[in-house]
Structure 1
């Protein structure tokens, strides 16, 4: 038998062919069931109540429809299995509703509505819940970073540029920098949430409807902040997906960078950080190993989340500006997976950061190595010897080179070595006392003289910490208001729906 005959024998000559079912319809159905089931019934409720309020359905009709809707909504989603008689979950629910309340009533539920605006509404409802959960865990991570930073305002450590020891800073200063990066990610996600939390309902297929509907009442019933005003935009505009994906992509890219730092800090060579026992694993053969696999998994999950977010962006790229499957069922799971993986990363790293053990003494010793305070030598030469900075920089560089050749760290450089370096650069034997050179080489002195806004000085770090703690509290209050708005809208809709059901029962 030729390949063509084999395909026809397996798939038949009518829709849907077995291959089409196995590769598309069944997987899409399962995704709809697993992700959109609850959101679908929320849309049904809000739409039926609006039709009743607008006089398009009587209270008795609306109540009877809602009884059927509630009966189906109470089902276990796993009971819904793919059936080739129905193209998707939407038509299966409508079919079961017809069996329950009759074809006419079930059909009237679809007045002034399309799968187009309904589908986008469901995606937005599910996506906003994912975003709120992600934002909650971001706030937890920020709290952990701020708490540990508060404990380590005096913990001196080396900072790195180009992977090389650069200058002394404090662990608090470093963790505040991570926090501020995460805080900006938080703001980007809030912006995405505001774009997502807008109602497309009432757009119908894409040109609205000839029925006298109220888009604002549906918006309020579902807890949306606004409507997508232009009905074409409501159906075609996929930027709510792009903004979400981009925000998640940036978040996980940002997180991956400092997670990589954390892995380096955990190495025996660095000995800066020890991950707590609940988050390490041992080797199957090397009993001495304490592998920080929680941090490693966080790094790989962050990459996987970024890849899922990038997949969503790529799927929208170069697509027509209209209703297309590219932005619908095939794309949505990528975003849900990206957010779910991001949440796993945030939860893991929050736990790790809250429980890490810091070797303060070892960090302080490392902050004295590699001549990383020598910028202060150049600065002091400018302030106290009236040299230009570039000349002072050359002298300091000469001192570093001579000390390296002599096998000395900066805190052991004798005054004569500085005098020789200055003589070579300026023809003047400029130097300081041993006590002065020791002070210049001290990492704590290096930090103490840096009191500019944003510096690692403990007082300035404390000011920044207090400011960030207040901002975090404001962000948590904003999150609570967003959750309350959705919950209150759901409760109002439930009350209205129950009244209509009671009317229909007589």
Structure 2
């Protein structure tokens, strides 16, 4: 027996072969069942109602079809299993409808519709709901970040550049910066949602239909805010998937950066924050350890979410500009899994940030070390002693080197040390008093006088916080309005279906 004969004996001589079933059809069926079942029946309802109202379907036929649709929609879809008689979930459900109402009526349900526009509509319905859930979780984390920021507008800490202590700031200032990045992520997610929430229905296979349908009515019935007007674009355009994937990549990349900070902050050596007990795990052999597993898994999940989203971009790359439903069958689960992982990361970090204990005294002490207020010493030379900034920078640099050599911190140096350095550089004393020097070297002073827009001064930080709290209330209201509109569309669609079925 040849290898060809062996394979055909094992797989069968007609479509679908056993290997094709196990490697493709069965996994795709399971994904469609788990993700698309309810969206499919929403599309059925809206389309049949439109055909009836446009008098393409007689009302009595539409009533029978919708009765069957409602009966099958109530089945326990999780119990559905792949059946080789049907290529996918779509054809299995069509067969169920045929059993209920006969071939003619079941077939007429698909007048002026294709698997192409129906498939894209289902994907968009599922994706928009997941995006809204993701936006909700981002809003929640933003609200938490602002709340914790408000508690730490005067919690002094070092800010870092190049991983080195740079200048004093506050924990509130830092967390607000994290929030602001997340706020931009919110806007990107909302933009993706708006581009996802567009109806392709009525495009049919790719060139619309000769029937006098109303695309707007179906759009409104399903809660879409607009329509993908060009029917070729409705079927071929996959940028709504790419936009969602890239927004996820940006979101999780942004989160990953400060999650890495938090892993550093909670080390014993750094000792800036303490993760609450519910989110740490004790070592199996070293009882003294408090492993920050919640933060570690968040970092890992963020990377995994990025990988799934990148898979989406890679799968669409070089896909012909036409119907890609077959590609999307394999692609969609990557997107859903990516969003699910994002939600897990956001939930975990919301719990962690809400419950952290901050070692304020230790952070303040770190802000007094490493000469990180010396920028202010240089600024004071310019403001109060009338020398150029570059010269002041040179003097301050030499002061720091001298202090390091003598094993002193900046608040240990004397006016005499500064005068000795100044004489070497400019030929005369700067004559700082001990009181002036103490003020200049104090991290509280450093922060307090930085009142420029966006600075860490508690007064300026409070102003920024108030504005952000106002914006997030507006963002939350917008999200709630979107949810209400979608729910209203679902309720209205179901009401109209019941009215037709009951003859009201």
Report the Cα distance in structure 2 between the residues aligned to 1:73 and 1:96, rounded to whole angstroms.
11
- Give the structure 2 partner of residue 479 of structure 1: 479
Report the Cα distance in structure 2 between the residues aligned to 1:6 and 1:432, rounded to whole angstroms.
94
Report the Cα distance in structure 2 between the residues aligned to 1:326 and 1:83, rounded to whole angstroms.
19
Report the Cα distance in structure 2 between the residues aligned to 1:379 and 1:78, rounded to whole angstroms.
68
- Give the structure 1 partner of residue 336 of structure 2: 336
Extract structure 1 runs of 4+ deviating beyond 3 A.
Answer: none
The alignment covers a number of residue pairs equal to: 504
1:16 matched to 2:12? no
Structure 2 unaligned spans of 5+: none
- Give the structure 2 partner of residue 430 of structure 1: 430
- Give the structure 2 partner of residue 266 of structure 1: 266
Check whether the contact 2:272–2:363 (CA below 8 A) recurs between aligned residues.
yes
- Give the structure 1 partner of residue 275 of structure 2: 275
Bigger shift: residues 412-421 or 171-180 = 412-421
Check whether the contact 1:274–1:356 (CA below 8 A) recurs between aligned residues.
yes
- Give the structure 1 partner of residue 461 of structure 2: 461
Matches within 5 A, 1:355-394: 355-394=355-394
Check whether the contact 1:400–1:410 (CA below 8 A) recurs between aligned residues.
yes
Alpha-carbon distance, 1:437 to partner = 1.1
Find the residue that maps to 1:342 and give its secondary structure: helix
Alpha-carbon distance, 1:314 to partner = 1.0
1:68 matched to 2:48? no
Alpha-carbon distance, 1:326 to partner = 6.0
- Give the structure 2 partner of residue 411 of structure 1: 411
Q: Deviations over 1:67-90 (max 9, x none)?
A: 000111001112321111111110
1:321 matched to 2:325? no
RMSD: 0.9
Query: Structure 1 pair 326/410, CA: closer, same or farther in 2 (3 Å)?
Result: farther
1:112 matched to 2:116? no
- Give the structure 2 partner of residue 257 of structure 1: 257
Check whether the contact 1:316–1:326 (CA below 8 A) recurs between aligned residues.
no
Matches within 5 A, 1:234-249: 234-249=234-249
1:181 matched to 2:169? no
TM-score calculated relative to the size of structure 2: 0.99
Query: Structure 1 pair 373/25, CA: closer, same or farther in 2 (3 Å)?
Result: same
- Give the structure 1 partner of residue 491 of structure 2: 491
Report the Cα distance in structure 2 between the residues aligned to 1:365 and 1:291, rounded to whole angstroms.
25
- Give the structure 2 partner of residue 309 of structure 1: 309
Structure 1 unaligned spans of 5+: none
Check whether the contact 1:252–1:303 (CA below 8 A) recurs between aligned residues.
yes
Query: Structure 1 pair 471/495, CA: closer, same or farther in 2 (3 Å)?
Result: same
Report the Cα distance in structure 2 between the residues aligned to 1:350 and 1:229, rounded to whole angstroms.
40
Check whether the contact 1:223–1:485 (CA below 8 A) recurs between aligned residues.
yes
Report the Cα distance in structure 2 between the residues aligned to 1:196 and 1:78, rounded to whole angstroms.
26
Alpha-carbon distance, 1:3 to partner = 2.6
Check whether the contact 1:158–1:367 (CA below 8 A) recurs between aligned residues.
yes
- Give the structure 2 partner of residue 230 of structure 1: 230
Bigger shift: residues 331-340 or 70-79 = 70-79
Query: Structure 1 pair 326/83, CA: closer, same or farther in 2 (3 Å)?
Result: closer
Bigger shift: residues 454-463 or 326-335 = 326-335
Report the Cα distance in structure 2 between the residues aligned to 1:431 and 1:366, rounded to whole angstroms.
28
Check whether the contact 2:120–2:325 (CA below 8 A) recurs between aligned residues.
no
Matches within 5 A, 1:99-178: 99-178=99-178
Alpha-carbon distance, 1:428 to partner = 2.1
Q: Deviations over 1:17-57 (max 9, x none)?
A: 01111111111011000100000000000000000010011
Alpha-carbon distance, 1:429 to partner = 2.5
Check whether the contact 1:319–1:326 (CA below 8 A) recurs between aligned residues.
no
Alpha-carbon distance, 1:2 to partner = 3.7
Report the Cα distance in structure 1 between the residues aligned to 2:468 and 2:378, rounded to whole angstroms.
34
Report the Cα distance in structure 2 between the residues aligned to 1:2 and 1:254, rounded to whole angstroms.
56
Check whether the contact 1:200–1:228 (CA below 8 A) recurs between aligned residues.
yes
Query: Structure 1 pair 165/326, CA: closer, same or farther in 2 (3 Å)?
Result: farther
Alpha-carbon distance, 1:305 to partner = 0.4
- Give the structure 2 partner of residue 298 of structure 1: 298
Find the residue that maps to 1:330 and give its secondary structure: helix
Find the residue that maps to 2:165 and give its secondary structure: strand
Find the residue that maps to 2:252 and give its secondary structure: helix
Query: Structure 1 pair 317/136, CA: closer, same or farther in 2 (3 Å)?
Result: same
Report the Cα distance in structure 1 between the residues aligned to 2:252 and 2:304, rounded to whole angstroms.
9
Check whether the contact 2:223–2:490 (CA below 8 A) recurs between aligned residues.
yes
Q: Deviations over 1:334-392 (max 9, x none)?
A: 10000000000000000100000001000000000000000000000000111111110
Alpha-carbon distance, 1:324 to partner = 2.0
- Give the structure 2 partner of residue 30 of structure 1: 30
Report the Cα distance in structure 2 between the residues aligned to 1:91 and 1:12, rounded to whole angstroms.
22
Check whether the contact 1:238–1:327 (CA below 8 A) recurs between aligned residues.
no
- Give the structure 1 partner of residue 90 of structure 2: 90
Q: Deviations over 1:393-412 (max 9, x none)?
A: 00000000000000000000
Check whether the contact 1:156–1:360 (CA below 8 A) recurs between aligned residues.
yes
